Amino acid sequence: MNRLSVIGLQEEKDSLFEELMEFGAVELNDQSEKLLTKEWAQIAGRDGNEDEVSILDGHLSQVQAVLDMIDRFDTAKRPLLAVRKEVSRQKYEELLGSAKEAESEVGRLYALCERWNDAQTEQNMIQSAQASLMPWTAYDLPLELRETRNVYVRCGVIPAVADEEALRQQISEVSKESVLTVLGRDQEQQYLNLLYMKADAGSIMDILKTFGYAEAQFKDMTGTVSENLKKLDEQLEDVKKRQKELEEDFRRAAAEKERIQCYYDTVIVRRDKAKVSERLLKTKQAFYFDGWLPQNCKEQAKKILDAHDCWYEITVPDKGEETPILLQNASLVTPFETVTDLYSMPSSQEIDPTPIFSFFYFLFFGMMFADMGYGIILSGVCFAGLKLFKLEGLAYKLVKMLAFCGISTFIWGLLFGSFFGNIITVVSESFFGHGITISPLWFDPISDPMKLLVFSCIIGGIHLFIGLGIKAYLLIRDGQVLDAVEDVFVWYALLIGIVLLLFGGSIVPGRPDITGVLTEIGKWLAIIGAAGIVGLRAVRGKGIGRAVGLWNLYGATSWLGDVLSYSRLLALGLASAVIAQVFNALGGMLGHGIIAAIGFVIIAVIGHAFNFFINALGTFVHASRLQYVEFFGKFYEGGGTPFDPLKKNTKYVKIVKEEKL
């Protein structure tokens, strides 16, 4: 990254920022802090119009509401994935037509949206009223009838668990003339109609309270329940008719959908330009901004700024200064940036770990998912998705990474002799009477799991050592050579020494002279490493910190746990293979013949689909975990801020140059 500072004339601002948005490689900093200083506050003020941004945000919401309503009722076939449509500038302008006319059409359709929403609210209220009346269908008195000269007429509810007979008995004891009718009941309530003399009202209400009685509210309804339900049915029919007419309007508006989408993108670009103005400082005739520019875009940026008569300065950041992060890798490595993005971007003082761990991620994924059939499916689906859909950003990188991982899965399946488990062997034995076996190019992990476990631990140890090596590089780069020796190289000596002591005798079997030398080397390396861990801390530490080296030495045991974490390569690899073979065996148990073959196909498809999705997800998670916890834990902190350049963040349409179409 380079730091960029620019001063330009107000008359050039709009055209300059239009080009910078097309360029898409300049990030603007907020200038608020500058205005806190007296020097800047005296000569410049903040640019931007918050009211304009707010108005445009509100308009965007309206346009989006219109598009959502069109999508809701559009009967046309929709794409499987929503991606931006690539069009040329000329095609974009043809689709948009007159922005004024598009705005007018959006206004008309938004009014229809509000009418539809009002109708939906009215429908909900009617249906709610219907639901409240349904339990009272047995009540045939007018709802407005609340009393006569001597009698109160009441409707209400009591809990379903309340004893209705006890209520009836207690009421009859204080008022023999009262009439209690249970009109209905459900799981929660009992619906009552009660007629009682006005003279007995106080006593009866006291009894009702003890049973949890609540008065029914019919609001302003008049007439009987059946009459009100009939009215509500008519109102509901009228509302639905209005809604259908509005829905038909939205279906016809689907012909304008692309135009409205282009208009939405036009408004969002206007909104973004208005928002970015808030990051500028201005005088009456000039404006100022500073920000960041990738070094490889410097020459093109100069041409744009020169064309608009700007004064500018491009400088290298100070040492140790934090800058935005933009990862730039080779095409084979770029997809694995997905793993870095999902964790955290490196700070500007670190290195991008992606080129280093991408090989291991590729390796680990294939080892855990190892199957030729699954690899073909994973790569085939992902490469087809990349071909059929114009994916962008994280989605593009993720799908492409999985396509590469499918290749690794196929390779390891070839090495382990697995094609949908042992499906070829089962099919040939069950339906053709003689078994055909795919021989592994290396070995079968189900028959020899210890071999895979040992290999997993070895490759895991290499992975961890590389992580430590990166830490040493960063420390030496920053001039902390003694820290590199203390934190890395003495650990190399100790760990390599322990390995040679324990396994040196089996590295070159039948050659005691060589194994003896290796064991002796291991002993001295272990001694040097242990002495370095304890001694360097004792020399360099202060106070109680001098004794920390002994505790660090005990930390060597944690390395055993770190290395054993890579046993998950064995565990998931065996899980995938065993589950595949179990489903094959279940299908093979059906016997011979057409029916058995159909049953086998059904079991195989369901079983292998289940195995594929479950283990693909597990493999993705655990391959990532080995990077995040074991590898990154040795040197990586992250916390970098992603580079966020000024660009046209359109939602529906991507404008590209003619030659790219």
Six-digit token string for 200:
């007995």
Q: Is 572 exposed, middle or buried (0-12, 13-18, 19+ CB in 10 A)?
A: buried
Tokens, residue 436:
């055909």
Cβ pair 260, 68 in contact under 8 A: no
Closest CA to 66 of 264, 311, 328: 264
Query: Would you say residue 338 has pLDDT above 90?
Result: yes
Checking if the pLDDT of 510 tops 80, the result is no
Beta bridge partners of 419: 422
Distance between CA atoms of residues 165 and 437, nearest Å: 79
Is residue 126 over pLDDT 90? yes
| pLDDT over 80 (residue 538) | no
- What is the phi-psi region of residue 639: left when phi exceeds 0, alpha when psi lies from -120 to 50, beta otherwise? left
Q: Are 507 and 478 in contact (CB under 8 A)?
A: no
Tell me what percent of the chain is helix, strand and coil, each rounded to the nearest 5.
65, 10, 25
List the structure tokens of 496: 């390599």
Say what the pLDDT of residue 531 is: 84
Mean of pLDDT values over 127-150:
93
How much is the pLDDT for 48? 84
Comparing 218-227, 537-546, 564-573, 629-638, the range with the smallest average pLDDT is 537-546
Could you tell me how many helices (H) and strands (E) the chain has, helices first? Answer: 23, 12
Q: How far apart are CA 397 and CA 341, in angstroms?
A: 10
Give pLDDT tens digits for 420-468.
999 999 999 888 877 788 899 999 999 999 999 999 999 999 999 999 9
- The predicted structure's pLDDT at residue 491: 86
pLDDT given at position 505: 64
Predicted local distance difference test score (pLDDT) of residue 50: 87
CA angle 615, 620, 621 (to 5 degrees): 100
Encode pLDDT of 384-393 as tens digits.
999 998 899 9
| Residues 5 and 312: beta-carbon distance below 8 Å | yes
Per-residue pLDDT band for 415 (boundaries 50, 70, 90) equals: very high
pLDDT at 556 over 70: no
Classified by CATH at the fold level, domain 144-217 comes out as Alpha-Beta Plaits (3.30.70)
Residue 525, pLDDT score: 87
Closest CA to 322 of 647, 3, 633: 3
CA pair distance 45, 640, nearest whole angstrom? 30
From the number of C-beta atoms within 10 Å of its C-beta (0-12, 13-18, 19+), residue 59 rates as: buried
What is the arithmetic mean of pLDDT over 162-180?
92
- What pLDDT is stored for residue 541 in this prediction? 63
The pLDDT, as a whole number, for residue 502 is: 76
Give the model's confidence band at 548: pLDDT under 50 very low, under 70 low, under 90 confident, else very high: low
What confidence category does residue 658 fall into, taking pLDDT thresholds of 50, 70 and 90? low
Supply the pLDDT for residue 549.
55
Closest to 332 measured CA to CA, from 380, 413, 410, 403: 403
pLDDT (0 to 100) of residue 306: 96
Q: Tell if the pTM clears 0.75, that is, is over it.
A: yes
- pLDDT tens-digit map of 58-105: 999 999 999 999 999 988 877 777 888 888 888 888 888 888 999 999
CA torsion sign, 133 to 138 to 140 to 141? negative
pLDDT at 75: 83
Domain limits of the chain? 144-217, 334-634
The whole-number pLDDT of residue 546 equals 58
Q: Which residues of 240-262 are buried (b: 16+ CB within 10 A; e: fewer)?
A: eebbeebeebbeebeebbebbbb
Cβ neighbours around 90 below 10 Å, total: 10
Q: At what angle do helices 372-388 and 593-625 cross, to 10 degrees?
A: 70
Percentage of the chain beyond pLDDT 70 is: 95
**From CA 293, how far away is CA 2, in angstroms rounded?**
5
pLDDT digits (tens, 9 = 90+) for 227-245: 999 999 999 999 999 999 9
Distances in Å between the Cα of 221 and the Cα atoms of 13, 216, 341 are 64, 12, 61
Higher confidence at residue 296 or residue 503?
296
